[in-house]
Amino acid sequence: MSESTTDPRDDTAKPRRRQARGERRIQQLLDAAAHVFCRTGYTSASTNAIAREAGVSPGTLYQFFPNKEAIAVELGERLNRRMTETHGTVLTPENAGLPLGELLDTVLDPMIEFNCANPVFLALIQSSDAPGQLLEEHAELHDSIQDRISELIGLRNPDLSPERRTHTTTMTFALFKAGLTLILGHEGTEREAYAAELKTALYGYLAPVLGTEAVGTRP
């Protein structure tokens, strides 16, 4: 059980020094995996197919990823990181005071844009038979987004009971995901129409709870 590596760093016990070529290959493989996952979902996607899509051999793929799950996990992590940036800059307490219509535009537009540019994100989330670690990743992101939404809702309507706030938050996010699926399922004008329709729906749902006008959030 001697872990006698050259130990330049043993924080992860994997002292593999990547070359620039390797980093490029990893990106190629993740891009290929994104395509294949989008096409067939996680379970039905074969590692050989991912390697073929990336134009490399199966052996090369396993030079960079220990197993199939790790590919999805790494892809998920990168997407989560970028998605977290997006919702972090937009689901802020400062925006809570905006008129509801503007608030929805401000929040939804970047989220929708990100998902249109990265359709594999939704595909991975909706793949029901995903492995354990991927589900944990999603749960984390899910919770962090819902916490932000819940915070916004709480700021706009402090009189809401915790239960109602939770339900409103969860339903809001679920409706958003449904609208997103519809948006990604169309293109061009239709896509924009459904984006507008989603905003209308959320507006109609949230207006009675949060009010439509600008709200001062100072103590």
Q: Which residues bind its own copies (CB under 8 A)?
A: 40-41, 43-44, 123, 126-129, 163, 167-168, 170-171, 174-175, 177-179, 181-182, 193-194, 197-198, 200-201, 203-208
Of 148, 183, 179, 178, residue with least CA distance to 165: 148
Query: Using a CB cutoff of 8 Å and minimum separation of 24, what contacts does 105-114 make?
Result: 105/199, 108/176, 108/195, 108/198, 108/199, 108/202, 110/86, 111/86, 111/87, 111/176, 111/180, 112/180, 112/183, 112/195, 114/82, 114/83, 114/86
Of DNA, its own copies, none, which one sits near residue 21, judging by CB under 5 to 8 A according to partner kind?
DNA
Q: Which of 66, 208 has the CB closer to DNA?
A: 66
Instruction: Residue count of the chain, please give it.
Output: 219
Work out how close the CB of 152 gets to DNA at its nearest, in angstroms, rounded to a whole number.
40
Q: Are 183 and 191 a contacting pair, CB within 8 Å?
A: yes
Work out how close the CB of 171 gets to its own copies at its nearest, in angstroms, rounded to a whole number.
5
Q: Which residues bind DNA (CB under 7 A)?
A: 15-23, 25, 45-49, 55-60, 62-64, 66-69
- Give the DSSP letter of residue 12: S
- Coil, strand or helix at 181: helix
Q: Which of 89, 181 has the CB closer to its own copies?
A: 181
Of DNA, its own copies, none, which one sits near residue 57, judging by CB under 5 to 8 A according to partner kind?
DNA
Q: Which of 45, 83 has the CB closer to DNA?
A: 45
Work out how close the CB of 128 gets to its own copies at its nearest, in angstroms, rounded to a whole number.
5
* Amino acid, res. 175: L
Q: Which of 196, 214 has the CB closer to its own copies?
A: 196
Q: Which of 6, 189 has the CB closer to DNA?
A: 6
